[in-house]
Amino acid sequence: MTIETLAFNDVLNNEIAHFFKSGNIRRSKENNKLDKIHYLLPKKGNYGTNLEYDIWYDFGTENKIRGYLYTDVMTKFVYLKPASTLYCKKVIRDALNDDITEEGEKIFQDISRNNTDKYALRQTKKEYPYVIFLAGSNIIKEITDDIKVKRAIDTEGAVLKPHPLTSPFVMAYLRNRYGKQNLLDRKLSGHNILNRTRKIGCTSNSEMGLIGLSQGKRIELFDRKKIATKTYTPIYAVLFEKGYPVIDDFKRILSSKYSGLIYYDSENPKQNIKNFFKYFKDIPHVKPKNPKSLNTGRK
């Protein structure tokens, strides 16, 4: 009997695609406001390269670009990136030379005051002084400095907030490693908890440290050394280059018209998308062996 594969369009806000990634944890309707940005994306990147959703591949320090990627961020941005750690960092670092704009200030305040969960999660009234937000099951062991996490629990009373999509197997491991009493419910709202805490720990795949920075909170990173690039690694790498983040640097990145962070309520999102791709026009590109055209389902 022939086995048929289930075909679906893996793009932002495609319900079937998100079901296979998050199962019974529903995505928040707040993500829907990104549709208007999503529909503006081109079908391809520069020079016929692929533009693909929510994946990552990298060719290290190679001075060529073989494709582009995008993902949704904080329910407020579509984040465009070249599939290159080298150039991901370069564009963010260059954004630090930009002036802080009125729109950048507006975005910064929106992140601070109106942050919401990507998933539909339960609210809580409890407060915790120090919370470490853990990575998902697929990368938690790969990127997390386990010894540093244990030390934060033992010496500073940190509690752990598992990712909403953490598997039962990994939850069992976390209970055994860190103690059930130090784990919060994975289905509680991380943003609800974040807004009430004073110190935040996370790894560089997480938006929580950036939101905490916008609120003026202490941020501690729990990355292992020399991890592979994750969603926000280029931003954290640039912001923490001196060992600590500078709020004005984050505002400059948010003010940039070419950084790839396309805000849902931007004054001119279409132009900012064009600016992003124009930034990389002079970089050598390699056409893909399996070319694809992005189908955003634009109406």
For 151-186, the pLDDT digits (tens) are 999 999 999 999 998 999 999 999 999 999 999 999
Region 51-77: mean pLDDT is 90
| pLDDT at 57 > cutoff 50 | yes
Region 83-89: mean pLDDT is 94
Greater pLDDT, 189 or 299: 189
Whole-angstrom distance, CA of residue 135 vs CA of residue 160: 11
Whole-angstrom distance, CA of residue 130 vs CA of residue 157: 7
pLDDT score recorded for residue 181:
97
At residue 32 the predicted structure's pLDDT band, cuts being 50, 70 and 90, is confident
**What are the structural domains of the chain?**
15-98+256-279 (no CATH), 130-252 (3.40.50)
DSSP lists the bridge partners of residue 77 as: 73, 263
pLDDT score recorded for residue 287:
92
| pLDDT at 29 > cutoff 80 | no
Closest CA to 55 of 27, 81, 76, 74: 81
Q: Which two tokens stand for residue 168?
A: 């039962």
Asked which of 13-27, 48-62, 253-267 is least confident by mean pLDDT, the reply is 13-27
Would you give the distance in Å from CA 189 to the centre of its chain? 17
Q: Show the DSSP H helices in the chain as ranges.
A: 15-22, 35-38, 85-95, 102-113, 140-143, 146-156, 168-178, 190-194, 208-214, 233-239, 247-255, 269-279
Output the average pLDDT for the chain.
89
At residue 26 the predicted structure's pLDDT band, cuts being 50, 70 and 90, is low
Q: What percent of the chain has pLDDT over 70?
A: 90
| pLDDT at 34 > cutoff 70 | yes
6 CB-contact burial (10 Å; exposed 0-12 / middle 13-18 / buried 19+): exposed
HSE of 195 in the Cβ direction (CA atoms, 13 Å)? 15
Most confident of the ranges 8-17, 201-210, 288-297 = 201-210
pLDDT tens readout for residues 241-269: 988 899 999 999 999 999 999 999 999 99
pLDDT score recorded for residue 27:
57
pLDDT score recorded for residue 220:
97
Looking up tokens 């934060």, which residue turns up?
152
At residue 9 the predicted structure's pLDDT band, cuts being 50, 70 and 90, is very low
